């Protein structure tokens, strides 16, 4: 351990946080040592600079997605920064990668508690405002009354006011401010359009997969889709939901597919609309009968025409084999997804691997996947 790391650790331990932050920030710029950057994040958190700390831990976690401590520090920082919804979404996604970890569950409970406290505070606010109004000094009340007397009271004046409002509503004599507002609305619409996945393309070419935070699915006539319950934010129309049993080594088991808290469900709908949300969603369509292998934590859903089979990678993670043709939706956990060709023997680290497609044999060794055969691999970058 370097002397600088020891020095910063001692400063944090003794409560000299300002000095620790200053030295860690300067030292990291010079050395790019991630241990120092981690201590910088810890010092920021202890000092109460939660948003800054969340940026530090987010950057470190993106480089080491297998590190539970970095993930927990990132989630805690978001929560303490008041970003409850973002913290909750991050924790729900992490609960699949770090399978139902107790500390993650505790933080999720804390999110729920703070959401309720926030709602109660909002409900209490109007009462406070009413109380303030009751305590307005007599002089101020009299001033308000005087102002009211000065308002137009004749029919002619009221009619004039109505005409002015009509002109504004009809857009007569357009003002620069109105144009700015209109441009902002259009800009927001464009941003949302970029975020959503409107079409899932056929997986022919290599390169980056399109991604977005939202996915809208329409079930027309009587059709079905399989989705992970965790990511469904809205569903309407006529539909039925069926939980799915896990199929391991082509044998049906008692356990639910995806686990108790993140189970996959089959949705059978007639003119049914479904909205899915995650950071981020990517998808592709297989036009011919092929086999896809997707790490279970990264699987959002797939067409019900696929046959599915789970295989244990290690005690915590499973890989799902999908046989058939149709659409497959994946979750990239904040990263971009890229498709690359596969040929011969290939070794891929766990932190980068999402899945693969083709006539392949996949085995797991230590911290990486060994893939034999020809096809395509989907990586997080």
pLDDT band at 151 (very low <50, low <70, confident <90, very high): very low
Would you state the pLDDT for residue 144?
A: 42
Q: Is the pLDDT of residue 142 over 80?
A: no
- 1: exposed, middle or buried (C-beta count within 10 Å: 0-12, 13-18, 19+)? exposed
pLDDT band at 227 (very low <50, low <70, confident <90, very high): very high
Taking a C-beta distance cutoff of 8 angstroms, is the pair 276, 298 a contact? no
Q: What is the CATH number of domain 3-115?
A: 1.25.40.10
Which residues have a Cβ under 8 Å from the Cβ of 230 and sit 6 or more positions away? 92, 96, 261, 262
Of 168 and 260, the one with more pLDDT? 260
What is the end-to-end Cα distance of the chain in Å, rounded? 30
Q: Which fold has domain 197-380?
A: Double-stranded beta-helix (3.60.160)
Which residues have a Cβ under 8 Å from the Cβ of 243 and sit 6 or more positions away? 256, 257, 263, 264, 265, 266
Q: Is the pLDDT of residue 197 over 50?
A: no
Q: Which residues share a beta bridge with 373?
A: 360
Of 111-125, 172-186, 329-343, the one with minimum mean pLDDT is: 172-186
As a whole number, the mean pLDDT across the chain is 78
Does this model's pTM top 0.75? My answer is no
Boundaries of CATH 1.25.40.10 in the chain? 3-115
Q: Which two tokens stand for residue 86?
A: 């973002």
Boundaries of CATH 3.60.160.10 in the chain? 197-380
Q: What share of the chain is helix, strand, coil (3-state, %, to 5)?
A: 45, 35, 20
Mean pLDDT along residues 38-55: 92
Q: How many angstroms separate the CA atoms of 276 and 143, rounded? A: 53
Would you state the pLDDT for residue 164?
A: 52
pLDDT band at 199 (very low <50, low <70, confident <90, very high): very low
Taking a C-beta distance cutoff of 8 angstroms, is the pair 334, 280 a contact? yes
Identify the CA nearest to 56 among candidates 32, 33, 40. Answer: 40
Identify the CA nearest to 348 among candidates 315, 314, 380. Answer: 380
Residue that is written with structure tokens 């230590």 in the block = 366
Taking a C-beta distance cutoff of 8 angstroms, is the pair 255, 245 a contact? yes
Would you state the pLDDT for residue 156?
A: 53
Would you state the pLDDT for residue 51?
A: 92
Q: pLDDT digit string (tens) for 56-108?
A: 998 888 888 778 888 899 999 999 999 988 888 888 777 767 765 788 888 88
Q: Is the pLDDT of residue 173 over 90?
A: no
pLDDT band at 22 (very low <50, low <70, confident <90, very high): very high
pLDDT band at 41 (very low <50, low <70, confident <90, very high): very high
Of 100-104, 246-250, 261-265, 294-298, the one with minimum mean pLDDT is: 100-104
Phi, psi dihedral angles at 152 (to 5 degrees) = -60, 130
């Amino acid at each position: 351990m370097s002397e600088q790391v020891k020095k910063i650790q001692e400063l944090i331990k003794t409560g000299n946080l300002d000095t620790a932050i200053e030295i860690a920030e300067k030292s990291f710029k010079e050395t790019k040592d991630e241990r120092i950057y981690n201590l910088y994040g810890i010092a920021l958190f202890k000092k109460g600079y939660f948003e800054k700390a969340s940026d530090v831990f987010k950057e470190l976690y993106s480089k080491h997605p297998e590190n539970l401590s970095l993930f927990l520090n990132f989630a805690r920082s978001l929560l303490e920064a008041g970003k409850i919804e973002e913290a909750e979404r991050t924790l729900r996604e992490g609960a699949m990668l770090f399978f139902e970890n107790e500390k993650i569950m505790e933080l999720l409970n804390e999110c729920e508690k703070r959401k309720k406290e926030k709602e109660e505070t909002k409900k209490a606010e109007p009462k406070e405002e009413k109380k303030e109004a009751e305590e307005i000094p007599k002089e101020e009340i009299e001033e308000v009354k005087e102002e009211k007397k000065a308002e137009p009271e004749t029919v002619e004046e009221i009619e004039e006011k109505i005409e002015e409002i009509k002109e504004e509503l009809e857009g007569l004599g357009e003002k620069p401010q109105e144009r700015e507002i209109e441009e902002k609305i259009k800009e927001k619409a464009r941003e949302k359009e970029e975020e959503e996945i409107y079409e899932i393309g056929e997986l022919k070419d290599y390169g980056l997969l399109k991604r977005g935070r939202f996915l809208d699915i329409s079930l027309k006539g009587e059709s079905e889709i399989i989705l992970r319950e965790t990511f469904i934010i809205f569903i309407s129309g006529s539909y039925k939901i069926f939980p799915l049993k896990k199929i391991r080594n082509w044998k049906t088991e008692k356990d639910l597919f995806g686990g108790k808290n993140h189970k996959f469900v089959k949705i059978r709908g007639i003119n049914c609309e479904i909205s899915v949300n995650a950071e981020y969603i990517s998808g592709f369509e297989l036009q011919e009968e092929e086999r896809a292998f997707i790490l279970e934590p990264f699987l959002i859903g797939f067409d019900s025409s696929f046959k599915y089979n789970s295989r244990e990678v290690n005690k915590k993670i499973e890989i799902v084999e999908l046989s058939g043709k149709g659409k497959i939706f994946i979750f990239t956990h904040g990263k971009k997804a890229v498709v690359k060709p596969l040929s011969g023997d290939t070794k891929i680290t766990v932190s980068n691997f999402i899945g693969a497609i083709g006539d392949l044999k996949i085995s797991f060794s230590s911290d990486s996947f060994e893939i034999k055969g020809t096809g395509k691999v989907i990586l997080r970058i």
